[in-house]
Structure formats: structure tokens, C-alpha cells
Amino acid sequence: MSKKADQYIVPGLVRGLAVLQLFDNSCRELSMAEITVRIGLNRSSVFRLVYTLEADGFLQRVNGSSRYRLGARVLDLGYRFLSGLDLLEPARPIMARLRDDTQMTAHLIIRDGADIVYVDRYQSSTPFTSTVSVGTRFPAYATTPGQIQLAGLSEPEIRRLFHGIEMQAFTERTPTSIEMLLERLDEIRVQPAIVSWGRFDARISACTAPVQGRNDEVVAAVSVSCPIGSIPQSQLETSVREQVIRAARELSKTQGCFVR
């Protein structure tokens, strides 16, 4: 962000949002002291931030204790975001059919900058339960749904997007540099769908395909997943792959993409 743009930023709002972002699946509750340490501000400033967020319903006390968790107003904002996605409504019958046809959990994923966000999940009836819930965020460079969406960008766009970002290895197959990522994207661009085994999570196999919009830009990804070994590799590479491609193309048509 340029220095000129910086002058329009409201510091208090930035700090308040930073407090909310401290809470995630691994840290659902925090005390005032813990927030103070993590946010790096003095106690009086943190008190005012937390007091304001609690008063507006974005934070709430845990059973009347001195600990806090996210409030219902955060969920309300999340639902407003989801309801504003034109993709979700036409995706529902397509994704439900994909789940039923493959007997695998189906996900719809969008890209948000250098991350991906899971915006819908269609849980299969099999014993396997996906732990990836709606709203889950992962780094795009490390995941197949992210890489498929990054493949729609040019090399200069990729370099700008990941400039200064440390690329952590989640498995031995994770790209840990921009050059490695660019090589991976070159492999992806020539394929209508990607079958992966343990690329991000060593326990999971998946098949993913891009959803395209009016100008052929990649607007989302469709993915199905299951534990490695739960279905034959040949099935994942043939019938499942074909069903994922079909679902992605059908959804692309609803987004204005001309699909032959």
C-alpha cells in the first residue's frame, strides 16, 4: 500500500479488526491479558477496544468470566458476505449432485488475495467427515484449490501477490518459493482438473477443477475429497475426475462462461 493511501487508514479501526483476528479455531477464547500481549498495545488501549467490540456484539464474555470469544455479530457479517456471492445459489444443486455421484465431500472455494476461503461444504454420507468447515482459510500457494485459481493469473501478478510472503512447507510437495510455485502453475494450466494425494494434508486425496466466469477468468474451484486409500486411485483419476470436471463446467456456465 502506498504512503498516500496510508493517510486514509483509521488506526483505531485497524486495531479493532486486529483484535477480532486473534480468534480462530486454535484460539477460541482469550483473556484481556492475553489479548494485550498478542496485540502489542498497552492495557488501557486494549480495554477500550475490547469494551467497544463487546458493546457492539462482536465479542462476548464466556459464561460471565473474564475471558472473551467472538460474538454473534461476526457470524452475521459472515452470512451477509456469503449471501452476496452470486456463485452460491446456482452451485447448490450442482454441488449436491457431485457429492451424491462421487460419495465424497464436495467443497466450493474462492480466492481472497493470497489465501483461499471455503464458502460451502456438501458433506458425504460416508463415515469420513471433513474437518474443513465453511469460512476456513488456507494459503493459496500450498493447496490445489488455491493453485488452480492462481493459475489464472499472469507471472507478474503472481510475483506481486507473493512478494515478501514466507511460503511455509505443509508437506514435502509444498512450493516454498515463487519459482517453485510458477512451475507448479505451468503444470496445472494444461489440465482441466487436478487429482492430488497428500499435497496439503498427507492424509487426504482430492480432485479439483476451476470454475470460470464471463471473461474466462477463474472465479472459484470445485473440489471433492476423501481419506487416502478409501477409494481406488483409478476411480479418482477416471470417473471422479470426469464428474468434477462436469460440475465445474456446469457451474461455469451459470457464471457467464461459454463452455463448449
The helix (H) or strand (E) run that includes residue 14 is helix 11-20
Residue 131, pLDDT score: 77
Residue 223, pLDDT score: 96
Residue 122, pLDDT score: 93
How many CB atoms sit inside 10 A of residue 255's CB? 17
Residue 116, pLDDT score: 96
Task: For residue 69, give the DSSP letter.
Answer: E
Residue 64, pLDDT score: 78
Q: Annotate 148-181 with b (16+ C-beta within 10 A) or e (fewer).
A: bbbbbbeeeebeebbeeeebeebeeebbeebeeb
**Mean pLDDT split into 10-residue runs, the chain, 260 residues:** 67 91 86 92 92 92 89 84 81 95 94 94 81 88 96 95 94 94 95 92 93 91 92 93 97 86
Residue 260, pLDDT score: 67
What is the set of domains in the chain, with CATH numbers? 3-77 (1.10.10.10), 85-254 (3.30.450.40)
State the cell numbers at 201.
494434508
Plot region of 12 (φ>0 → left; ψ -120 to 50 → alpha; else → beta): alpha
Q: Is the dihedral of CA 78, 106, 245, 193 positive or negative?
A: positive
Residue 5, pLDDT score: 58
